[in-house]
């Protein structure tokens, strides 16, 4: 039998939780410092503007492209490679005046004077008003998901656990944003989607642990809260590691093959999976313990749960 985590382990997760808090704190501070100094590289979806991806038949000369754009009334253009040296991304801020929707065509015209072989691969133009709306609906989606999860966990489990879960999600949120800030990943709708999927994944992880804690609190009559929680985490550790691994592997495939468009998305997920696994054990459970979670909180059984529990 192959297993990643010894089944008879009696690792003292919660006795060492203060180290974990320390690590969390350091990461949180690093995230907040980066967020407040460097900020987030907001993507086109939220800021508005124009992104043009063009393809060249040979490796493109970025300096020449910058030069020709500067000479032709696009001094503010950001020019960079996109995935390969034959593919170039040009980003322009939303124009204050003028005919915005012709911008991309003008840019392509200008680029053609430098290299006639250039082809248009992708154009994205988002007006400033639309950007603001997408930003708002993105924020709303985040709020709705987080509060929905809070309600679900407090209904199914216990308020202290739900509070722990939401604090964990906020903790993850700040760290994911910190990561996005430090690495300079462009934060767009797809990355937001990755974060929301992570929130679901992270809660999923917590629930498995919570579920086992509830079961053990009812089954094991002796032992302190810390002991029982340690037993529960040790018991579910194999599953936690295993699921984290399979999810990580599938996202890794996206990172390797998904192309430049999904780069930020999959990178956010990869980091988020590690973070979520760590925080579901250390932050969520530890916090609910320190919030004063007692055996008695979990002993109230509904009729339905009694039925499930008496099943052989």
Residues paired with residue 54 on neighbouring β-strands, in sequence order: 88, 120
Q: Which of 16, 121, 219, 294 binds another protein (CB under 8 A)?
A: 121
Q: Which residues of 72-98 are buried (b: 16+ CB within 10 A; e: fewer)?
A: bebeebebeebeeeebbbbbbebeeee
How many C-alpha atoms does 32 have within 13 Å on its Cβ side? 8
Please identify, using beta-carbon distances, which residue of 72 and 243 lies nearer to another protein.
Answer: 243
Q: Is 155 in the site for another protein (CB under 8 A)?
A: no
By CB under 8 A, the residues from 11 to 50 that bind another protein are none
- Nearest approach in angstroms of CB 170 to another protein is 15
**From residue 146, how far is each of 152, 153, 169, 228, 304 by CA, in Å?**
10, 11, 8, 28, 27
Residues 43-102 interacting with another protein (rule: CB under 8 A): 53, 55, 100-102
Contact window for another protein (CB under 8 A) among 16-24, 34-42, 230-238, 285-293: 230-238
> Of the listed pieces 175-183, 190-198, 216-224, 290-298, which binds another protein according to CB under 8 A?
190-198
Alpha-carbon separation of residue 11 from 17, 135, 164 (angstroms): 12, 44, 22
Of 37, 292, 296, 311, the residue at the interface with another protein (CB under 8 A) is 311
Least distance (Å) between residue 197 CB and another protein: 6
3-state secondary structure of 35: helix
184 touches another protein (CB under 8 A): no
* CB of residue 161 to another protein, shortest distance in Å: 12
**Contact flag: residue 137 with another protein (CB under 8 A):** yes
- Cβ closest to another protein, residue 182 vs residue 218: 218
137 vs 183, which CB is nearer to another protein?
137
Nearer to another protein, 35 or 141 (CB): 141
Site for another protein in 247-306 (CB under 8 A): 247-254, 256-259, 261-262, 265-266, 269
HEC-encoded secondary structure of 243-299 = HHHHHHHHHHHHHHHCCHHHHHHHHHHHHHHHHHHHHHHHHHHHHHHHCCCCHHHHH
User: Considering only CA atoms, which of 181, 197, 253 is closest in space to residue 35?
Assistant: 181
Q: Residue 126, by phi and psi: left (phi above 0), alpha (psi -120 to 50) or beta?
A: beta
Identify which range of 28-36, 64-72, 179-187, 194-202 contacts another protein by CB under 8 A. Answer: 194-202
């Amino acid at each position: 039998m192959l297993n990643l985590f010894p089944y008879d382990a009696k690792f003292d997760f919660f006795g060492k939780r203060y180290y974990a808090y320390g690590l969390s704190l350091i990461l949180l501070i690093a995230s907040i410092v980066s967020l407040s100094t460097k900020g987030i590289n907001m993507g086109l979806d939220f800021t508005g503007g124009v992104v043009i991806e063009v393809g060249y038949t040979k490796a493109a000369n970025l300096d020449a492209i910058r030069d020709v754009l500067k000479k032709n009334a696009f001094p503010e253009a950001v020019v960079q490679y996109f995935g390969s040296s034959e593919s170039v991304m040009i980003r322009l801020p939303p124009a204050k005046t003028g005919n915005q929707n012709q911008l991309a065509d003008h840019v392509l015209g200008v680029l053609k004077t430098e290299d006639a072989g250039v082809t248009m691969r992708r154009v994205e133009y988002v007006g400033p008003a639309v950007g603001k709306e997408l930003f708002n609906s993105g924020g709303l989606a985040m709020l709705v998901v987080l509060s929905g999860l809070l309600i679900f966990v407090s209904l199914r489990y216990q308020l202290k656990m739900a509070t722990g879960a939401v604090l964990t999600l906020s903790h993850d949120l700040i760290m994911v944003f910190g990561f996005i800030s430090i690495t300079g990943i462009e934060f767009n709708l797809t990355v937001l989607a990755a974060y929301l999927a992570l929130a679901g994944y992270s809660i999923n992880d917590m629930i498995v642990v919570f579920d086992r804690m509830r079961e053990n609190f009812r089954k094991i009559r002796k032992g302190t809260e810390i002991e029982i929680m340690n037993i529960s985490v040790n018991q579910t550790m194999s599953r936690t590691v295993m699921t984290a691994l399979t999810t990580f592997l599938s996202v890794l495939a996206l990172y390797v093959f998904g192309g430049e468009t999904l780069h930020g998305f999959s990178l956010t997920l990869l980091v988020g999976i590690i973070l979520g696994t760590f925080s579901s054990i250390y932050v969520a459970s530890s916090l609910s313990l320190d919030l004063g979670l007692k055996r008695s909180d979990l002993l109230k059984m509904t009729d339905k749960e009694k039925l499930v529990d008496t099943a052989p």
